[in-house]
Chains A and B, each alone.
Chain A
């Protein structure tokens, strides 16, 4: 299976919002679409999934245009919601039916995900009521009050987000598109979502993820596109990109003030706090020279960590360069 995005372009009037976006996924994994606010990520996703008409370009899934019929897509939109006044179970059965998952299979999958996402008490309130049989009966009549089906607006935002993820996964999609999947989640639910994403990756699914949380992207993604002002400004395999930069970030912690020594060697200080420095070096040679100087002066070193730039640093640098060029 493969996903090919070719020359995807969209403009509103004279404003180009996506400018000839190209990328490919030739195997399972996670592809990240990153970018500043308004860079064109969500518009690109909408065009890829066929929600929005494209001005130019094509999106191919296994060589054929990607449509509702040609690809089983799961989508967790950035702007997500549920029908606030309809019972949750009715909504999930409806969503499953729209994705051609019907009857018992839909019920089975809903039950699985309800357990996995810890939503049983909301989706099966009757079960929850039964399990509380020891609870006091209704006064006088000895009849337990029948549990009413839960409506979406009775759920917290995090639980609603879990239902939306469940809806995206109900059809067991080949291609899963997650737009800001972890935004608004508490750490516990965030970990739950991460574990589910890991499971989907292990199942060999194709994932496209858009996020502003660079640590999350770095955790899952193999390939990335960074967009700024409608254009792709950096693309490729994340490890290759990082290797291309080399080990140029130095985290140094010592016991005395060495600001003079650092400046003497022409090293840029990104930030410093109480003898702890984040430095930008030109390469390993410069870092080694600094280390030798420290040892020569018999300065106690607590931390000396030379590493490749993080995705966050690459993103900030690239977006900054692109904005300066404009």
Chain B
């Protein structure tokens, strides 16, 4: 049984021959993706949005230090004079509030330093705000890249099918190479888009703080700032988790796209990956509210959901490297399973013409032994 599985794996999935030509497909798809006007416009729009967002959002939230100081001073004298307060009473009032503005990251750093100095008085674990907003910021990035990559893949697969090019392509390159090349190209495009956005955001945030004396004051944007200034270990965790997530959703999207015959079917094909992505996003935000070790481990290890949760739990210190590695191994298992399904049916799906096949139909096809890899 095991040798049969091994043979099947070798023949259908991991054989080098199945991926011959991936590089050519990747380069061509990437070049055309970057050349497409719509994609260039998206890239520029996202960059401008990321550049403009920090100062505008800070100003809209009243986050300029100079303005805050001036406002405070201008209000202080009338505030004392009008009710006839004494100097002592005023000092007492001053002691009860503070106009100091600061980021949540700085607050957490201070708290962590204090905890290190005096472990007995330290609070237990991160607070709700920290958990929730870090999860929100990270989940927004992941949902964005996942949805973008899934829809790009579906569009790309359907475009090839509807243009009736697939048959010609299949005598030059194997189906798995065709899909892998596309996924990698989309991955590079989406990651570039993400890096451009985060880079622009970070740059804008730093420049705003330095030259305009403006800082973001919303906790979620503090967390976004934190995500753009994470330490190398966290970078590794975020990047690997994001790539595994994008790969998972991209393969799923590839299968769904191959079940379509015309561009009119694209919306229908988008439904299933979008539902899964949205469900993971919502669950990730919900579980971030619970600070229970059991829940933290569950959401970090649960396949697909772990893409949204594990890196955040790692950054919050709720799980360590072993748990994170285990989450990756499980996610890799999911990817291999999806690849196995894909390799069984993808070739037949590419040639299929007719009403859109739903994911359930495709699974039935795979498990009924229909279709199969090419000899």
Contact = CB atoms under 8 A, between A and B. Distances in A.
Contact of B371 (A53, A65, A98, A167): A53
Sorting the interface of chain A by its residue count into under 10, 10 to 19, 20 to 34 or 35 or more gives 20 to 34
A75 interface: yes
A90 to B, nearest CB: 7
A150 to B, nearest CB: 15
A94 B373 contact: no
B174 interface: yes
A141 interface: no
B162 to A, nearest CB: 8
Given A68-B174, A94-B24, A53 B168 contact: no
Interface string A35-67: 000000000001001111110000000000101
A80 B351 contact: no
Contact of B351 (A46, A69, A85): A46
Contact of A51 (B17, B21, B163, B351): B351
Interface string A232-243: 000000000000
A87 B348 CA distance: 28
Nearest to A97: B24
A86 interface: yes
Contact of B31 (A68, A77, A90, A164): A90
Given A50-B374, A53-B371, A98 B347 contact: no
B348 A81 contact: no
B61 interface: no
A82 interface: yes
B311 to A, nearest CB: 37
Contacts of A167: 168
18 contacts: A49-B170, A50-B170, A51-B170, A51-B351, A53-B371, A53-B373, A65-B375, A67-B375, A68-B20, A75-B171, A79-B167, A79-B353, A80-B168, A86-B32, A97-B28, A98-B173, A99-B172, A168-B168
Given A51-B170, A52-B374, 4 more contacts: A53-B375, A79-B167, A94-B24, A99-B172
Interface of A: 12, 46, 49-54, 65, 67-69, 73, 75, 77, 79-86, 90, 94-95, 97-99, 164, 167-168
